[in-house]
Chains A and B, each alone.
Chain A
């Protein structure tokens, strides 16, 4: 339906595509006659790797170009005796006389005095030297080792200011990524992902083994070119490419075992019996003589393996790379697993005298995965250790006590299966209209679909009330994207200009349908025969669909003077269909400048500094991830049923408060930084300060009913700031032939502050949020969002001590009056760390190399929710409790207070890898043969008493280890890298 040409959007899409292509081709003959003496060639380093962005200048004339992604260049020079100057930062300059040759292959030698790199930026690349925004580039050699599921895993802890948190041990869970703090109240602060220049793709669509480098655009001056989606930062992923005349086959593989690092310390059967007998509790009927550790029963050693094979290379005017990866992973909970297959093919070919470069990319990701049913953790906490898994006659033991049931029976018979496919095709054409003027177009079609099946067996805790419950749900998300760019660069004298103009059109269609049924005569069908259920209700079938469009215009000017002063300015105008009628379009400008102080006379001869650069930038970007389509409109939705004369009919009702003013959240950020390199490049790094302010925060604010129909309304109201400092030190400590030692340290501090929650239309003093739901503790909130405070502030009663009866003594004088009331609640902690840091070290000696990576946070608080839920003997004997209950003496009703807030600082040995690189001596053409062992999450130093101090950090109630928390794992893996 969507692909049919009757669809007006599709027609427009195709028309634009055709026209842009046409324009490109119409321009072909325009530039065919201005050649004098054409020369082309390739620039390589001593390893034969192509160098990208090498400046190629005709000596004495204002005529220059630079090498492309394959290290190739072409230039028309005045005559056959012209001299070409090759310069590339970090490499020694080279002058070559053409001497009548038509092609020239040049090898540049590294100048160890000045290390330099080309960095991927939004819609292009730039020499690291001239970058004026805040961009961190992490390349393959710095990636985390071991079991890595996505690009995010590769980066964890590596980038100052980029906090990646695994909130759970569930291998199907996505991590929370926060760049420079939380800048949204809606919980959607994930950075925007761009893969090989294609914006808005999923991190899952690329296997970690296919990634060459990742750039993180940290400040708005760098990210604003991505407009209304860039406020939480942008992650640019560059995949590996084939290299001309270098056919290569690579294999990477590993096998890994996962064990749970910590399980909850609930009472063992012995402890339970000691307690009940010493307290004269009659346990007849409850104690069934068993000795069960319910957590051990539902957990296992997870075994994983990953294989990745790639082939790459290229001919005279083409390159290719194809790869296939398979990952099979088992979680440590028995129902948790994932299989993933990634295929990727990239083919690039030049034509029309190398003026046209066409690149085709096809990528496919298939995942079969089963997330854990976290309900089973609750059951494992509550089930008494003296109850058996199975009765003596081999039947399952089960119980209907509150929050109880046999978790292993649940896991054995119940299913939660996802089959997810994601594929996209992307065609890019770059056409050199002149050598300085490049037009590009990129077309993308992506589809992701998911098929979910769930079955709760009629005999299990999950399914017993329904007498069997089956559900199927599928969804499909289609994305189409067209981007057209024009790039013009001009160098004259000391002036180097680079202009970019672009247009982007994107639409997204989403559709979903599902059905469920219950009461099955047999459990044979699982979720494969919904019709066999006997209790279908009107709300048991559903379908939905939505769409959104995003249209953008953007441009950028980059100006470099004397290779010393850089000025970059960009602007993007974004229009989104999701925005309300009154705010369809937003403009996002940015400007930044850099000054290479080292080039100035007063530093030029100072040996202490190998390099010194000062940069500053300011930009405005947006976030529109916080709302779904149609939120600005007044709509009728189906609203249950009504009864009329013996029959039921569907009722319809206005489904939301319409808000035609709805728009993006807007973040403006100021960034200033110093890049330094001292002591002959032995020590280098960055110091940065940023200040960002986010306005028009989206939130479902409380409004008065009446006049509004509903008490919640999504609106742009509040504002908040994030200010911080980031520090990076890279040490090149030992640099000998056989012994090399590098280390890197990064440190970041961020301070979040909510500055306003009100405007002239909405007034909110504070939002009390987060549910402290425990047994007997409904309607409590854990956190507060309030002007002048930071997101993640814990709010509750202040605990003083326990009295002799084991009752809480809580500070009741906060409001100045005796008696404990809600007004005595106060600020009792903050989930936001004061510092986050990482330290990595790589030591190589002869053929060995050893690397380790430490990561930590300092100065945050956590809510130990499982202690609040289970650390009381009051649930004994019929439900199990934590060991802590035996000693804490608590007897009171459940109350949330600072008693359960703990310090969350930790230092973790995240990764340690020992590898051996064989001397292949080109035997059978083998270039590289490396074997390694890796341990992940080896130890954690912390005072936190719960399972793991690293918990979910998203949303407005971060920093809580819930009672359904999936514990983290410790992983050991053995791997091989082979290339030939």
Chain B
């Protein structure tokens, strides 16, 4: 009896000890921050806002860039001899306009846009709820500006997409029409245009500023007939928006190449850049475009993949005297500095980048075939940094002043007013490109402006939008593609997005 009593006590002691002392299962976190313990100081708040700008790294030279240049007649990722860059035919689909809701690049672009928008919404709500912030209204406007840019990309490329602005809303969103998206972006821009900072300084570089918002407004108005045809033309609004930007202290850099140099953050032409650094993930265009052996010739320490090339027709349209031709494209023999000889490819051919791209092996029924490794002019617009190891530092200008000049010129010509001013604006651009004054225009036409945009903005992610606005996007490209159906003016909503959210609607025709 006595013994069992003691056992009972033992058991009680043991179990009480156990239940009280050691059933605590909270996690102690060491290398991450629990939400709620961050965002109290200005430094912390800046660190929280920063990801909205980091999202932009997904634009160039990434999916939206490829959507623009490889679906228009600017660029191509040809399948090389042996099958390099075949990749399931995704680049062929962009080139031939045969993409589907499963095509990889539009899918990745769509996902990157919504991931970025949701990040913006989350950061918006964090800032909005934070009591410690003084200039809250301006910070919120900054976030809305970046979000509006992402919606602008979706509006341009996908048209009909859901609009989500509240992170706390956990409902699966439904598709909104292109008109609604257009109106939403316009409303957002109009609400923030006088709230955001209006300086043009080294401190405002890479930030949402008045210059950025008005340039984006200009783009909205310029493309209004495409995106919201029922709303009518907005040419005067385009001119007005451009005029605001032109009153700000941006200048056309006298040396055009300064916009693309390694240290191009000093360019005063840049209105809104994506800022890159080798250390933090950067501009990977050289890897994408250069041949495996090009880095030897160019003195780079990178592994290149021999992908992206310029479409022959695009390059051939350049005037040989136009400095922008060799300023944009890598053409000709590539020399091994050690031997002075032209490098030799694995197919035992001299590494000479031709403008022409010749599909001569393994031709499919749709005409698609393999080209020689060395075919095609490569992207060389951004200065190659000697000894580069990794991604390059060169920032990418989403908007720069030259674009605003040509936007205004285009709107003026389309309205049929003030051709003198339009011609002056175009010539301001051409002056940098030619030493010979006879190359300047006297009376610009719409076609002149279209062509000028192509010379000025090769590889800058504007070609598709321009071709659609000028009604040329679906046209055949002799030797490359037939005329294509109207549905290809926007991309399909990816299957993965429809699977994850059954409330979405597919774009017409897909």
Contact = CB atoms under 8 A, between A and B. Distances in A.
A27 B171 CA distance: 62
A602 interface: no
A440 B170 CA distance: 52
Interface in A492-527: 503, 505, 511, 518-519
Interface in A631-682: 633-637, 639-646, 648-655
Given A12-B22, A635-B32, A645-B202, A654 B122 contact: yes
Given A707-B171, A874-B81, A807 B362 contact: yes
A486 to B, nearest CB: 8
B389 A636 contact: no
A562 to B, nearest CB: 29
Contact of A547 (B28, B86, B344): B28
B119 A653 contact: yes
A650 B3 CA distance: 66
B206 interface: yes
> Range of interface residues on chain B?
35 or more
B18 A635 contact: no
> Range of interface residues on chain A?
35 or more
Interface string A459-470: 000001111000
Interface in B152-176: 162, 164, 167, 169-173
Contacts of A648: 277, 279-280
Given A466-B389, A467-B389, A711-B115, A544 B31 contact: yes
A543 B31 CA distance: 8
B384 interface: no
Contacts of B84: 402, 775-776
A281, A633, A704, A895 — most chain B CB neighbours (10 Å):
A704
Given A401-B293, A637-B32, A655-B32, A645 B118 contact: no
Contacts of A94: none
Contacts of B58: none
Given A30-B3, A651-B50, A893-B362, A283 B348 contact: yes
A30 B14 contact: no
A337 B119 CA distance: 46
Interface string B124-145: 0000000000000000000000
A643 B207 CA distance: 9
Contact of A704 (B25, B43, B293, B500): B500
Interface string B88-118: 1110000000001010100000010011011
Interface stretch (B295-303, B311-319, B456-464): B295-303
A651 B51 contact: yes
Interface string B27-49: 11111111100100001101110
Given A285-B344, A402-B346, A640 B281 contact: yes
B496 interface: yes
A704 B6 contact: no
B164 A878 contact: no
Interface in A796-822: 807, 821-822
Given A551-B22, A577-B25, A641 B31 contact: no
Contacts of B18: 16, 503, 553
Given A545-B30, A711-B500, A23 B10 contact: yes
A814 B170 CA distance: 38
Contact of A707 (B13, B51, B164): B164
A464 B33 contact: no
Nearest to B204: A645
Given A31-B3, A629-B27, A484 B14 contact: yes
B361 to A, nearest CB: 8
Nearest to A820: B89
B280 A26 contact: no
Nearest to B35: A634
Contact of B34 (A286, A484, A633, A877): A633
B13, B86, B203 — most chain A CB neighbours (10 Å):
B86
Interface stretch (A444-452, A534-542, A853-861): A534-542
A703 B172 CA distance: 10
Contact of B203 (A26, A584, A634, A644): A644
B370 interface: yes
Interface of A is mostly: loop
B32 A630 contact: yes
A776 B301 contact: no
A19, A549, A630, A636 — most chain B CB neighbours (10 Å):
A636
A775 B305 CA distance: 11
Given A640-B54, A649-B50, A894-B83, A538 B114 contact: no
Contacts of A642: 46-47, 50-51, 53-54, 275
Contacts of A652: 33, 38, 44, 47-48, 50-51
Given A402-B346, A543-B31, A776 B292 contact: no
A141 interface: no
B145 to A, nearest CB: 15
Contacts, number: 276
Interface in A378-415: 400-402
A702 interface: yes
Contacts of A646: 202
A286 B84 CA distance: 20
Contact of B14 (A20, A640, A707): A20
Interface string A564-600: 0000000000011111000010000000000000000
Given A400-B296, A653-B119, A537 B173 contact: no
A705 interface: yes
B102 A822 contact: yes
A125 interface: no
A465 B347 contact: no
B102 A285 contact: no
Nearest to A702: B500
B3 A779 contact: no
Given A402-B306, A464-B301, A779-B104, A653 B51 contact: yes
Interface in A21-47: 23, 26-27, 30-31
B32 A641 contact: no
Contacts of A821: 100, 102
Interface string A940-977: 00000000000000000000000000000000000000
Contacts of A401: 292-293, 346
Nearest to A283: B348
A877 B35 contact: no
Nearest to B5: A30
Given A12-B22, A465-B302, A648-B277, A705 B115 contact: yes
A874 B370 CA distance: 11
Contact of B29 (A505, A630, A706, A775): A630
Contacts of B3: 30-31
B83 A537 contact: no
Contacts of A31: 3
B100 A23 contact: no
A264 interface: no
Contacts of B10: 23, 26-27
B51 A703 contact: no
B118 A705 contact: yes
28 contacts: A13-B22, A19-B14, A19-B17, A401-B293, A402-B292, A433-B7, A537-B279, A539-B279, A546-B29, A547-B30, A575-B23, A575-B25, A577-B26, A630-B27, A635-B35, A636-B35, A644-B206, A651-B54, A652-B38, A704-B172, A705-B111, A707-B170, A707-B172, A709-B118, A778-B88, A874-B83, A879-B346, A893-B86
Given A465-B302, A893-B83, 10 more contacts: A12-B22, A283-B348, A402-B346, A636-B35, A642-B53, A648-B280, A654-B35, A704-B500, A779-B104, A893-B86
Interface of B: 2-3, 6-7, 10, 13-14, 17-18, 21-35, 38, 43-44, 46-48, 50-51, 53-54, 79-90, 100, 102, 104, 111, 114-115, 117-119, 121-122, 162, 164, 167, 169-173, 202-203, 205-206, 265, 275, 277-281, 292-293, 295-296, 301-303, 305-306, 344-348, 361-362, 370, 389, 496-497, 499-502
